[in-house]
Chains A and B, each alone.
Chain A
Amino acid sequence: MKHLKKYIIALVALSAVIISSCRKEIPQLNRPEDYVAANFNEVFDAYWTGMNNNYVFWDIDTTDWDRVYKTYKPLFAKLNLYDEKDVRKSYTYFKEMTAGLVDSHYDLSFRDQDLMNDSGSISPAFERKVKSPDYHPSIRNVSLYHFYDTIPRKYLDPTWKRGFTNLPNDQVIGVAGTINQNILYFYFSGFNLTDLYNDSTNATNRFRLAEKYFFDLLQSTPNIKGIILDVRGNGGGSLADLDFLLGRMIDKPLHFGYTRSKQGNGRLDYSPWAPAYVKPQPGAKAVAAPIVVLADAWSVSMAEITTMAVKTLPNGHFVGERTWGGNGPLTGNKFYQGGQFTTGFFNLVYTSSLMFKNLDGKIYEGVGYPPEKEVKFNAAALKSGRDMQLEAAIGLIR
């Protein structure tokens, strides 16, 4: 019995030592910007790891990122960073790797602009858009003049105001006025409303003229019959503009959706869904008349978020086309522990910081938000000076 006791104790100790080594090792995770882009192994690892830990849509994305690793890691290992042909081959690989990513903000821009200047950045959503059967160019690109001149002269009362402001990387255009004195119309090409409104001392900030005119009309017009917010071709911008714009048309917080961010390094590690609200601005009064958003396939990000927020109002409507489908908010990576990052090879991996879910429980990332009344882009009508989408919005209010 004494011998058996010794054996059992020895066996227990041995078992504990052996079995305790059954745990997996914790991998060392490094920030993608800290990899030294001295060869394509490092370039691949930095990018793949950055995506693995920071991309916020793994929950709904159909891209098999493990398969990407297994397929492309050996291919990148064969490339020479100092061979121009290989660098171009890497461009093709990156394009293939990202082709199916659901994030429709997604854009890969390269540090080596000289080498890549004829290829440009990689935007999977844009590639898909161009190949889609319904593809049409943005009205903004077809004729910015349509917003700036045709609409005011043809559809607005003569008191309209318009203006533009040149920003370092963009030009923001605004047109505001009334239709039959009691329908308010506001077109703005980007969401810089708060900043440009507060920039009141800059004489070149002509956008503010149109913006202020719209807000003044909102305050002073008796018996408003309807409001048209035209965000066609609007590429988005500042989240603060949501309260700044719609917060003037409501008198209590408007719950319109939810956001969640990464919370941990796992692809499926997320925070809970936090409610997204539009908050009323001081002194705001609720607009009871119909508020119609005009949006199209080139309405992106804040333009889509604004559309979805308006649509949750009982008097909110959406006329036009299914939106672009890139509605996850963006901010710095450190704030919500995910989203955009840089590497030694990429100037920026531009990707959403949070996932957005509409109040109806659906995520419209990659698919776009559908209109209540669909009116397709009509190039021929536009050419003849008619705006079928705007006319449908006016008709809905009347």
Chain B
Amino acid sequence: MKRKCLFLSGLLFGLLTIQTQAQGQFEVGITGGYNKNYVHTSAGARTFAKYDSRSGFVVGIPVRYTFNNWLAVQAEPSYIQKNYRYERSNFFDGIYQNNTNSYVQLPLMAHFSFGGDKLKGFFNAGGYGAYWVNGRIKGTMANIFDAGDPIPDDKPIDNYFQLNKPYNYNEKYAFDSRRDRRMEFGLLAGAGVEYLLSQRFRFFVEGRYYYSLTDQQKDYMVNQVPRYNDTYVIQAGCLFNLRKLFHHAAPAETAK
């Protein structure tokens, strides 16, 4: 399967690169946005426990090479958070952990656009590679060596923290090289609109989906429950046409 994946990716890239045209233009810009990350996994048979999505943000530097009026390739080195939450419910309500995971990511995509000269719609499709740079865990757990206050015999107990008091933590995530896989690869797809403000600037808004193909964990145990990131991004940004920004256009061109 992996060979097939590589072959298809290579074929796609090849088809795109042979499209190089003399009139191609090079743009670079800045983008940023909000994201929601879902961890695709299972809490299994753990009692009153579940994984949940969390929001984060992304900032990136899109670099686009346009071949013609409908096709471009784009790279977008980015910083992106892929966060999630683990929490317990019912009697264990209040026990949770927020994982804030920071990645440096390089999406590579084909950019298909359609529409008018100024306002265009577009689709992006491609893949990405990411490196899990660091993480932070913030949460509350019960502390077995911090007993709750005495409870009268005739009083019901509503929450586990009455038995063992909560311990709040907010600390750097300690990577375990036996378990944590810090490289992540996956697919992306996006759609949006862009507006050509002038020959120099182009603004865009885009919704994008990152679909990880890499388990966050190495294969270190039999019957392992994998964890995959599914990240939905809403972002906006602008692109600058470098040639037109730094090299003033020729008089003949401006007369047009």
Among the interface residues A19, A240, A272, A334, which one has the most CB atoms of the partner chain B within 10 A?
A19
Q: Contacts A23-B226, A266-B225, A268-B176 given: A18-B147 contact, CB under 8 Å?
A: no
Query: Which one of B70, B137, B145 contacts A272 once the chains associate, using CB atoms below 8 Å?
Result: B137
A59 and chain B: residue at smallest CB distance: B176
Q: Nearest B residue to A332 by beta-carbon distance?
A: B47
User: Do A259 and B145 contact each other (CB < 8 Å), given the known contacts A9-B112, A22-B1, A272-B169?
Assistant: yes
Asked whether A82 is an interface residue with its Cβ less than 8 Å from the other chain, the reply is no
CB distance from A305 to the nearest CB of B (A): 9
Is A27's CB within 8 Å of the partner chain B? yes
Q: Let me know if B236 is at the binding interface, CB within 8 A.
A: no
Residues in B with CB closer than 8 Å to A30 are: 45
> Residue B20 at the A interface, CB < 8 A?
no
**Out of B44, B141, B146, B215, which one reaches A277, CB within 8 Å?**
B146
Is B157 interfacial (CB 8 A cutoff)?
A: no
Q: Give bound CA distance, A392 to B143, whole Å.
A: 36
Mark interface residues in A11-42 (1 if CB within 8 Å of B CB, else 0): 11011101111111011011100100000000
State A49–B224 Cα separation when bound (angstroms).
11
Known contacts A265-B43, A337-B49; is-contact A8 B141 (Cβ 8 Å): no
**With A8-B16, A29-B45 as given contacts, are A265 and B225 in contact (CB-CB < 8 Å)?**
yes
B151 at the interface (CB under 8 A from A): no
Q: Say yes or no: is B9 at the interface (Cβ < 8 Å to chain A).
A: yes
- Knowing A49-B223, A277-B145, A279-B146 are in contact, say whether A337-B12 is a contact too (CB < 8 A): no
Q: Which of B105-122 contact A (CB under 8 A)?
A: 110, 112
Q: How far is the CA of A66 from the CA of B220 in the complex (A)?
A: 9
Q: CB within 8 Å of B: which of A238-266?
A: 239-240, 242-243, 257, 259, 261, 263-266
- Which residue of the partner chain, among A15, A49, A65, A263, contacts B86 with CB atoms under 8 Å? A263
A12-B125 contact in complex given A49-B223, A53-B44, A354-B144, C-beta closer than 8 Å: yes
Complex interface: chain B residues within 8 A of A265 (CB): 42-44, 46, 225
Establish whether residues A268 and B146, one from each chain, have CB atoms under 8 Å apart when the complex forms: no
Query: Given A20-B187, A271-B141, A329-B144, A26 and B226 touching (CB < 8 A)?
Result: yes
Enumerate B210-226 residues with CB–CB distance to A below 8 Å.
211, 213, 215, 217, 220-226
Closest Cβ of chain A to B203, distance in Å, is: 25
> Can you add 17 more A-B contacts, CB < 8 Å, to A11-B8, A261-B141?
A4-B15, A8-B16, A8-B110, A19-B213, A20-B213, A22-B5, A24-B215, A26-B40, A29-B44, A29-B223, A66-B222, A265-B46, A272-B169, A274-B143, A279-B147, A336-B144, A353-B144
Residues of chain A at the chain B interface (Cβ within 8 Å): 1, 4-5, 7-9, 11-12, 14-16, 18-24, 26-27, 29-31, 34, 49, 52-53, 65-66, 69, 239-240, 242-243, 257, 259, 261, 263-269, 271-272, 274-279, 329, 331, 334-337, 353-354
The 5 A-B pairs at the shortest CB distance, nearest first, are namely A29-B44, A276-B145, A274-B167, A15-B8, A268-B179
